[in-house]
A and B are shown apart, each in its own frame.
Chain A
Amino acid sequence: QQQVKQSPQSLIVQKGGISIINCAYENTAFDYFPWYQQFPGKGPALLIAIRPDVSEKKEGRFTISFNKSAKQFSLHIMDSQPGDSATYFCAASKNTGTASKLTFGTGTRLQVTL
């Protein structure tokens, strides 16, 4: 059962363009939504995260938009650069003290062309 659905599977964006990746979740108990970036041959690394009490969070060129009623959240990469070419994973988890279980989306392979 895929609890976090991610789209698109792959994305090609020109340098300077906006990259948009979408995720939808099913479990309303989720209360933490991070995005991870993974370069080939490396482990995922946290990019940005949001809690459901805010609708948007921005860090530099990266913005998460969150729609609690629709159970959807998205990552926007402004002014996309070739160095942003990587696989992006959305994830979700619920806060249960010292127990944590990240549920990942299937990933989006982003390629930023010159």
Chain B
Amino acid sequence: DSGVTQTPKHLITATGQRVTLRCSPRSGDLSVYWYQQSLDQGLQFLIQYYNGEERAKGNILERFSAQQFPDLHSELNLSSLELGDSALYFCASSVNGRAVETQYFGPGTRLLVL
């Protein structure tokens, strides 16, 4: 158990809908990362937050947004969902967000868009 929690574990929704994925980092970790894992694209970095502020951005679609709240939990919002958004979404956390730190991954949220 990494100490990172993600809810929900599974999510089934329809195209065009909007969903929110939630992540609670390990106690004491200030930085949160979101990743998308799909069969064709592999593990792709989406976005990083550090103590409430966006710090790094990857291949995140404009339909997707994220935020980190004062209690350090984070939410990833996916809107206007398309079939291709079906994937595993992982949240990870680290202490200070530096590249050399271990990122601890949560168990993921499996999203299925029908």
Contact = CB atoms under 8 A, between A and B. Distances in A.
Contacts of A97: 97-98
Contact of A101 (B56, B105, B108): B56
Contact of A31 (B45, B94, B99): B99
Interface string A78-113: 000000000001000111111111111111000000
A95 B2 contact: no
Interface string B38-66: 00001111001010000110100000000
Give the contact-size bracket for chain B.
20 to 34
Contact of A32 (B42, B55, B92, B100): B100
Contact of A99 (B42, B56, B100): B56
Interface in B8-60: 31, 33, 42-45, 48, 50, 55-56, 58
B107 A43 contact: yes
A45 interface: yes
Interface of A: 31-32, 34, 36, 41-46, 49, 51, 89, 93-107
A100 B105 contact: no
A42 B74 CA distance: 20
A107 B98 CA distance: 23
A99 B107 contact: no
A45 B90 CA distance: 12
B100 A51 contact: yes
Give me the 6 closest cross-chain CB pairs, A-B, nearest first.
A43-B105, A98-B97, A104-B43, A99-B56, A95-B99, A100-B99
Given A99-B55, A100-B97, A46 B102 contact: yes
Contacts of A107: 42-43
B101 A100 contact: yes
Nearest to B91: A43
B52 to A, nearest CB: 12
A45 B99 contact: no
Given A95-B99, A99-B48, 14 more contacts: A36-B105, A43-B90, A43-B92, A43-B106, A89-B42, A94-B99, A96-B56, A98-B31, A99-B56, A100-B97, A101-B45, A101-B48, A102-B33, A103-B45
